[in-house]
């Protein structure tokens, strides 16, 4: 039986690891040019994504992260093709950059239709914007919880101050802010220095860590002279530019050395480093069932304190800025 714990102070029980489904689904028209598809080249099609879904659930990674915006709804539509009693879907508002807070109820209904579900486990505000009034949106989120369409409310890319604002509005309605989804990995440690991780601890909010593998830079597959194909090398130059890869090489070497003690890969050690922090829940993206199964194996081993400290020391330069 996989260990679960509440998401933040909500009553939603979640595993310590989720699955990023951003590249899943069959995009058509302009959605083929969604940044995720351009960067990663998409996942590997319906049957392989089904196998990734099944492998994740079998290993206890039952939380799947998507968004209305991912490939024009194609990722949500893909998840709508799969079902399992244990699966938990986390999606995000809005589906387009022009949306305002008051568009949320309509957008939620559209997401539920694509997902072929009556409710979602977690509904997140994807990113703060001048067009979306946070108090108004949080009140509409609370209405959606009361209507039974949403189990838990989250935000994404929120600063500590924005989290406090959302938390306070929801608290007046008796609803916890369950999560803030931000970029967090060994190569992107700003949540430790910009106040977000501290605010998560103080407010009892789970930090959902996106891009936990730094877009693949922490897997050990890429090195100087072996950059990923496609646009990722340019869109994520901070991880795949020549100087960056040189700086990252010792980190990958340490991940490899630690992993060899447990028969684990650098990617698995990098994900586990995040899981060892009890208020953090990583959601690595998986393009196929092999990656999904490997990522889910991180639920079944532990790092010791010295290893966590060694990884901390080796990546301190990435606390304040991307190197």
Ligand X SMILES: NC(=O)c1ccc[n+]([C@@H]2O[C@H](COP(=O)([O-])OP(=O)(O)OC[C@H]3O[C@@H](n4cnc5c(N)ncnc54)[C@H](OP(=O)(O)O)[C@@H]3O)[C@@H](O)[C@H]2O)c1
Task: For residue 209, list its beta bridge partners.
Answer: 182, 282
**How many chain residues interact with ligand X (CB under 6 A)?**
29
> How far apart (Å, rounded) are the C-alpha atoms in residues 245 and 1?
39
**Nearest approach, Cβ of 317 to ligand X (angstroms)?**
19
Task: Tell me which stretch binds ligand X (CB under 6 A): 46-54, 98-106, 285-293, 314-322.
Answer: 285-293
Q: Are 222 and 240 in contact (CB under 8 A)?
A: yes
Residue selected from 40, 82, 158, 318 as contacting ligand X according to rule CB under 6 A: 40
Helix (H, G, I), strand (E, B) or coil at 139: helix
Binding residue for ligand X (CB under 6 A) from 56, 91, 111, 156? 156
Tell me which of 157, 179, 180, 298 binds ligand X, using CB under 6 A.
157
Return the number of the residue (21 or 248) whose C-beta is nearest ligand X: 21
For the chain, helix, strand, coil in percent to 5 are 50, 15, 35
Other beta carbons within 10 angstroms of residue 3's beta carbon come to: 9
Nearer to ligand X, 117 or 233 (CB): 233
Site string for ligand X, 69-108 (x = CB under 6 A): ----------------------------------------
For ligand X, the closer CB: 259 or 285: 285
Q: Let me know the angle formed at the C-alpha of 101 by 212 and 208, rounded to the nearest 5 degrees.
A: 15
Q: Does 284 bind ligand X (CB under 6 A)?
A: yes
Tell me, residue by residue from 229 to 258, as one string, x for binding to ligand X by CB under 6 A and - for no binding.
------------------------------
Q: Which is nearer to ligand X, 63 or 169 (CB)?
A: 63
Note if 40 is an active site residue: no
The contacts of residue 176 (CB under 8 Å, 6+ apart) are 8, 9, 10, 152, 153, 167, 170, 204, 205
Tell me the C-alpha to C-alpha distance, in Å, between residue 290 and each of 280, 285, 316.
Answer: 24, 12, 31
Cβ at position 172, least distance to ligand X in Å: 26
Q: Is 66 exposed, middle or buried (0-12, 13-18, 19+ CB in 10 A)?
A: buried
Contact residues: ligand X, CB under 6 A? 20-23, 40, 65, 126, 156-157, 181, 210-216, 219, 221, 228, 267, 283-287, 291, 294-295
Give me the active site residues, please. 70
């Amino acid at each position: 039986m996989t260990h679960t714990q509440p998401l933040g102070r909500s009553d939603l029980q979640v595993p310590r690891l989720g699955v990023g489904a951003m590249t899943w689904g069959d995009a058509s028209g302009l959605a083929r040019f969604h940044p995720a598809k351009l960067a990663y080249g998409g996942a590997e099609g319906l049957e392989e994504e089904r196998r990734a879904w099944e492998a994740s659930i079998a290993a206890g990674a039952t939380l799947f992260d998507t968004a209305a915006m991912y490939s024009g709804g194609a990722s949500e539509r893909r998840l709508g093709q799969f079902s399992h009693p244990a699966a938990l879907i986390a999606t995000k508002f809005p589906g387009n950059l022009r949306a305002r807070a008051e568009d949320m109820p309509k957008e939620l209904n559209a997401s539920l239709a694509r997902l072929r579900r009556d409710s979602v486990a977690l509904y997140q505000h994807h990113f703060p914007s001048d067009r979306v009034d946070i108090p108004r949106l949080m009140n509409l989120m609370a209405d959606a919880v009361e209507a039974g369409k949403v189990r838990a409310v989250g935000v994404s890319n929120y600063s500590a101050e924005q989290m406090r604002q959302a938390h306070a509005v929801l608290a007046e309605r008796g609803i916890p802010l369950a999560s803030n989804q931000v970029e967090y990995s060994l190569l992107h440690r700003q949540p430790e220095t910009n106040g977000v991780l501290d605010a998560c601890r103080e407010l009892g909010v789970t930090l959902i860590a996106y891009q936990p593998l730094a877009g693949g830079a922490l897997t050990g597959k890429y090195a100087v002279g072996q950059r990923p194909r496609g646009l990722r090398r340019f869109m994520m130059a901070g991880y795949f530019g020549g100087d960056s890869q040189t700086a990252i090489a010792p980190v990958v070497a340490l991940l490899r050395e630690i992993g060899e003690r447990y028969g684990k890969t650098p990617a698995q050690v990098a994900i586990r480093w995040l899981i060892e922090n009890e208020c953090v829940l990583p959601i690595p993206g998986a393009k196929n069932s092999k990656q999904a199964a490997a990522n889910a194996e991180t639920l079944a081993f532990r790092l010791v304190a010295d290893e966590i400290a060694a990884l901390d020391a080796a990546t301190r330069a990435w606390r304040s800025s991307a190197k």
